[in-house]
Structure formats: structure tokens, C-alpha cells
Amino acid sequence: MLAQGVAGLNETGSGQVLTRIGADADLVQDAFSSKLGRVMGAISGVVTAFCIAYTRNWRLALIMSSGLLAFGLIGAIFGGITKKQTDMALASQEEASTVAQESLGAMSCIMANSAQGKIERKYRAKLDAGRDFAVMGRTLGEAMMAAMGCVASLLFALAFWQGSRYFVAGNANPGDIMTILLCT
């Protein structure tokens, strides 16, 4: 909404404008809040953990590094699809908000023509269309969390299995295996 010119406001309804301004304000607030500090802290923590893991046993740490790639792929795939679903749900909510705002502005005409039922059906149809997208977005978000939990469990199993093989061969001790497991 902030990137549009004034001419774009003539093509959209007042409810859509208000919903978009609210969503844009939330995005700006999130962008300038503590997210940058959190991201920098998370990146430095991951780099430090991998440095520790690679100094203990580079072979096991290299095997466990595959989890970072798996987490990134899961986040990119599910995140993109979830964002599309959420955007479609927001668009439907904007349309419903426009119907509500315009009906409030023309309340006397609606009452005079006994069109309350028609307006209500139109409003509910817009909300129902958005509900399906919102449910799908939430479902995909939960599926992403489940996939990440699955990858984490599989990484634990991989670390114990390959670590035990290295231990039997004399290439690693249990302390190194646990350190790498907890760092990666």
C-alpha cells in the first residue's frame, strides 16, 4: 500500500485501504523491532556451534551439517507456499472489509431497499473464500514444523549411529559425539 501512488487509492475500496495500511504498519513495526538483533544473534550462534563441532570431529560435523541444508530447504519451500496462502486470505479479508465499509456508508440506501440479506450474503461469501486460504496456510505452517521436527529426530539418529561407528573404530569418543550432536 505504501508503494502505491495516490491514483491506486481510487481503484480500491476504503475497507481494503484500511486493511492494507494496518498490515503494512505491522510489517514495518516487525522489520524495525528486534528482529535484526535476533537474526544476527542466531547466525552468530550457529556459526559458533559449527566451529566447535568441526574442532571436535570434522567428519561427524560434516555429516551433521546436512541438517542445516534440510532445514533451509524445508523453510524455503513451506514458507513460500504458506506466504501465498496467507496473502490470498488477506486479499479476501480486504474484499470483505470493503463490503462492510461501503455498506456502512450507504446504510440508508440498504435499509430503504431491504438489501440487508444480500449484503450479508456478499460479506459472508468473501469471508468464506478467505477462510479456506487461511486454514490451508495454518495447516502448511504446522506441516513445516512437523517436517523440521522429523529432520531433527533423524539427525539425532544419524549422529548416534555414525558416532557409534566412529567410536568403535576409535575415531571419536562419547564426549565428542555428544558435543557435535548438541552443536549441530
pLDDT of residue 12: 63
Of the candidates 16, 148, 164, the one whose C-alpha atom is nearest the C-alpha of residue 77 is 148
Q: Assign 180 a pLDDT band (cuts: 50, 70, 90).
A: confident
Quickly list DSSP for the chain: -TTS-THHHHHS-HHHHHHHHHHHHHHHHHHHTTHHHHHHHHHHHHHHHHHHHHHH-HHHHHHHTHHHHHHHHHHHHHHHHHHHHHHHHHHHHHHHHHHHHHHHHTHHHHHHTT-HHHHHHHHHHHHHHHHHHHHHHHHHHHHHHHHHHHHHHHHHHHHHHHHHHHHHHTS--HHHHHHHHHH-
Flag whether pLDDT at 2 surpasses 70: no
Q: For 90-96, what is the mean pLDDT?
A: 83
Q: Which of 81-85, 117-121, 145-149 has the highest mean pLDDT?
A: 145-149
pLDDT at residue 87 in the model: 86
- Which amino acid does the sequence have at 112? A
Q: How far apart are CA 181 and CA 60, in angstroms?
A: 9
pLDDT of residue 20: 73
Do the Cβ atoms of 63 and 155 come closer than 8 Å?
no
Q: What is the pTM of this model?
A: 0.65
pLDDT tens digits along 33-48:
667 778 788 889 889 9
151, pLDDT greater than 60: yes
For the chain, which domains are there?
A: 15-183 (1.20.1560.10)
Pair 126, 92: CB distance under 8 Å: yes
Grid cell for residue 103: 455498506
